[in-house]
Structure 1
């Protein structure tokens, strides 16, 4: 004979169904949200709280990071800042229409990237500069000795020469300097692609390589016709 199981009361059946629904919903939320902190490199100073409370789409670099990621941001910020300094000098000095277009492109791309990388370092609990007291760094005047330590950086003398140039002389000098400057940024970005760990930082590095390689080609064509 088959044992007969008495029917559960309607109220108890309803409560069990509700509990099951809530449990399934909780599992779904856990599955969807689990990737935000998985793989965080706590040994490098990152933590789940680093991005806690940040709105969706904010300029964060979630996930694990290493020293190469930190160095990439710390070095690329002043590198980009000098490119913007050079671009600002074009106002009233550049005469070539294509140079002016590239100046606008540089400003449009690199200023947001600076803000993005600063947000990474803040979230990672790292300073914006690798060494605030490094010889040759002139933080008090808002700048730095541009020959110090980073590939493609212009010296203070280079910047003074660019400041003094106008018209075609400026266009030619700007193109030559920006080719060298971009090649330095590309080298740094390629190092990040090889040695970095954070996926968001490596994606930005890939964007730098792609964008600035294309701009180098454009500047080289400008030099050919000036």
Structure 2
């Protein structure tokens, strides 16, 4: 009887649906560098004169996105998938393409004089965060991922980044 139970348990385990799909993997592989770029952008504000609430928001963004990166790396490792994605831009077309901020914009922000930094920072960061929203929408779309954790992360990214963009657009500098 115990042998039959083990055989049946083995059969049901092999019939279980996969825990993730290619869309989940691609979403995580695309969001990791997108988040890292967001962290790099907010770090540019560390030594600049900005209103305290904006500095606090920047610090919160960095902390949240670093935690998300660690989670995503752990999921990919557990799935036996690489952390980095295919660097061919065509590989990402089905996911809406990469949502990274242009390196030229980031360089211009870094080089901006103090008098212009605040306005440019708000513009660049709000665009970067909006890119994360668009990327997360692909995960939860009809041809998106199936992993509950990745889909929940996408939902949280959509909610939090949308709220951050709204906050950034309301700052007066």
**Smaller-chain TM-score range?**
0.7 to 0.9
Asked if 1:170 corresponds to 2:117, the answer is: yes
Distance, in Å, in 2 between the alignment partners of 1:202 and 1:94 is: 37
Match of 1:150 in 2: 98
C-alpha displacement of 1:128: 0.9
Asked if 1:39 corresponds to 2:22, the answer is: no
Runs of 4+ in 1 over 6 A off after TM superposition: none
Q: Answer with 1 or 2: which has the greater Rg.
A: 1
Match of 1:215 in 2: 164
2:72 to 117, 128, 140: 117
C-alpha displacement of 1:38: 7.9
Distance, in Å, in 2 between the alignment partners of 1:179 and 1:87 is: 11
Q: Which runs of 5+ in 1 are unaligned?
A: 1-22, 24-35, 42-63, 136-148
Match of 1:16 in 2: none
Alignment: residue pair count:
156
What whole-Å deviation, never above 9, does each CA across 1:90-141 have from its counterpart, x for those lacking one? 1112422222011111011100100100111111111111225x48xxxxxx
SS at match of 1:130: coil
- Contact 2:38/2:128 (8 A) holds in 1: yes
1:92 to 47, 50, 64: 47
SS at match of 1:179: helix
* TM-score for the superposition, normalised by structure 1: 0.63
Distance 1:93 1:38, change over 3 A: farther
Match of 1:191 in 2: 138
SS at match of 2:140: helix
* TM-score for the superposition, normalised by structure 2: 0.81
